[in-house]
Amino acid sequence: MYVDDSGIVSIDDLVFDRDGAPVTRDGVQMRRAMLHFEVLKASMHELGLETCKEQPPSENLELLGVTLSLSEQRMRLAPGKRVKYAAMARDVVALKVVEREALLELLGRLNFAATFYPMGRQWLHAPWRALRAQYRTANGDVVVSAAIRAQLSRWILELENPEHEGVPTGTARAFPGAADPSALAIYADAALECADAGFCAWTVLDDEL
């Protein structure tokens, strides 16, 4: 069994026992978030799952290529993803003709990046139009037009800009419970092992997952 990236939310308050006395370890009062973190790791080890890339409780978290900042209340594309996507775009800009699959892979990445660069969606119009066009080359490759080159170059500038603003995090007064019929979790994955990879969704209905 393999679990790829999981983020947990907890409350970072101080812990007291039922008599109101501080719960301490080595003279330091414990916090609930850290205890939750330790319980989670112990539970996974009990199931035979080894953890790696652990990030202890923090106001800043990098998860699935996204940097979440609770203190700033903003989400940003992680630095590593920005470097990778800019390099991919630069490779395409340098070409006159690009393989269809290579362009599709890049646009999938940039479509995800546009979540954190809202203006970026308009810089994908030309490459998407070319990808869908009927006048592609005989072998299916796509001609890198001046419009494609200009829009991808704009993406490169934004991705390499150290002043990445990101977008504000969303807030809600209340969230539905897992058994609430309005609750639905959508699962998506960039895995390319098979044509149906990453397509599924689940919810709880009558105590059944």
CA 159 – CA 123 distance, rounded (Å): 13
Other CB atoms within 10 Å distance of the CB of residue 173: 4
Per the model's pLDDT, the better-predicted residue between 46 and 183 turns out to be 46
CA 12 – CA 26 distance, rounded (Å): 19
Question: In the chain, where are the structural domains located?
Answer: 1-57, 76-167
Averaged pLDDT score across all residues of the chain: 83
pLDDT(114) > 70: yes
Contact 81, 95 (CB under 8 A): no
CA angle 154, 170, 84 (to 5 degrees): 35
Burial zone of 189 (CB within 10 Å; 0-12 exposed, 13-18 middle, 19+ buried) = exposed
End-to-end CA distance of the chain: 19
Which spans in the chain are helix H? Answer: 32-46, 79-93, 100-113, 125-132, 146-159
pLDDT(77) > 90: yes
Backbone angles phi, psi at 173, to 5 degrees: -70, -35
Contact 187, 203 (CB under 8 A): no
Please report which confidence band the pLDDT of residue 59 belongs to, taking 50, 70 and 90 as the band edges: confident
Q: What is the pLDDT of residues 123-175, one digit of tens each?
A: 999 999 998 886 667 777 899 999 999 999 999 999 999 999 999 987 767 77
CA 55 – CA 66 distance, rounded (Å): 14
**Exposure class string for 65-82: b at 16+ Cβ within 10 A, else e:** bbbbeeeeebbbbbeebb
Other CB atoms within 10 Å distance of the CB of residue 19: 5
- pLDDT of 134 reads 62
CA 205 – CA 209 distance, rounded (Å): 7
